[in-house]
Amino acid sequence: MAEQLSARGREITETVVRLRLVTGKQLERLHFAEVADPGSRARQARRACARLVQLGVLARLARRVGGVRAGAGGYTYYAAAGAQRLAAFWRGEGLRRVRSRYEPSPAFVRHALGISECYVRLLAAERAGRVELLEFQSEPTAWRTFNTAEGLRHLKPDAFVRLGLDQATELHAFLEIDCATEGRVALARKCHAYVVAWRSGMGGAVFPRVVWITVSQRRAELLREVCTTVAPEAWPLFAVTTPERALEVLTTGAGS
């Protein structure tokens, strides 16, 4: 199977394995950005994804993003058994048994695609010369463990990013993608977990900033209120923004 994939086919496969769920439009923006004509770009992306589905590398969710008129770009792709085995093979782990995927809930899909959209936008910013994307980890790779007096604790951010602004400046951030599905209590619990991790000394001298990316300005105001429920000395840990301003917040420190 690996021998049947082009270099671009492998790149697409690795992207989907890394991000878990990716739309056809996101894959087009990631892997076909150099094609100037929009129509040609969409056709090439469609053909490449269709071939990977035919090979059993990728699979599509039954529900499209944007409805039935969204076209092929509205498909949501995930790593089929072939992609999972290929990823293990490329890592030198050999072939292994993999689980079949169930059809996830709409809330799960929306959240996962929000993480993928952050990656797409950061890579576009890198191509434009605005920032260097040094590292992007989605969950569960982004998760961390740390020690406290009560024992081992777990921190589960949605993503971790490491950005280079210039030769001397490197920024680290945990991303929390908020789809307005959780209440104040759950949001406050997450904020306090980050404060506990920060006070534990996790990460050494540099603790990543926690950037909440949410759906609207109204929801952002709610999140800012929740972030102030932690001790005042921990307030600088947090920033709240919307997807449109996420890059600015990540690179300038705005949005807190």
Q: Is 70 helix (H, G, I), strand (E, B) or coil?
A: helix
How confident is the model at residue 70, as a pLDDT? 47
Going residue by residue through the chain (256 aa), what tens digit of pLDDT does each one get? 888 899 999 999 999 999 999 999 999 999 999 999 999 999 999 999 999 999 999 999 986 665 544 455 689 999 998 898 898 888 888 766 666 666 788 999 999 999 999 999 999 999 999 999 999 999 999 999 999 888 899 999 999 999 998 888 899 999 999 999 999 999 999 999 999 999 999 877 889 999 999 999 999 999 999 999 999 999 999 999 999 999 999 988 665 5
Domain membership of residue 28 (yes or no) is yes
Q: Is 127 helix (H, G, I), strand (E, B) or coil?
A: helix
Q: Any alpha helices (H) in 58-150, and if so which ranges?
A: 81-90, 106-127
Domain membership of residue 178 (yes or no) is yes
* Residues 69 and 141 occupy one common structural domain: no
Contact 160, 174 (CB under 8 A): yes
Domain membership of residue 110 (yes or no) is no
Domain membership of residue 29 (yes or no) is yes
Rounded-to-integer distance, Cα 147 and Cα 2, Å: 41
How confident is the model at residue 112, as a pLDDT? 95
- Our count of domains for the chain comes to 2
Contact 169, 154 (CB under 8 A): no
Rounded-to-integer distance, Cα 195 and Cα 230, Å: 8
Domain membership of residue 112 (yes or no) is no
- At residue 132, what is the residue type? E
Domain with 75, as residue range(s), is 2-104
Rounded-to-integer distance, Cα 35 and Cα 118, Å: 22
How confident is the model at residue 102, as a pLDDT? 64
Rounded-to-integer distance, Cα 130 and Cα 197, Å: 31
Query: Model's pTM, two decimal places?
Result: 0.89
| 176 Ramachandran zone, left/alpha/beta (phi>0; psi -120 to 50) | beta
How confident is the model at residue 63, as a pLDDT? 67
Give the torsion sign (CA, 11, 12, 16, 21).
Answer: positive
CATH of the domain at 53: 1.10.10.10
Domain membership of residue 109 (yes or no) is no
Q: Tokens 């990013």 belong to which residue?
A: 161
Instruction: Please state, as a whole number, how many other Cβ atoms lie within 10 Å of the Cβ of residue 74.
Output: 17
Contact 253, 211 (CB under 8 A): no
CATH of the domain at 147: 3.40.1350
Contact 190, 181 (CB under 8 A): no
* Residues 159 and 230 occupy one common structural domain: yes
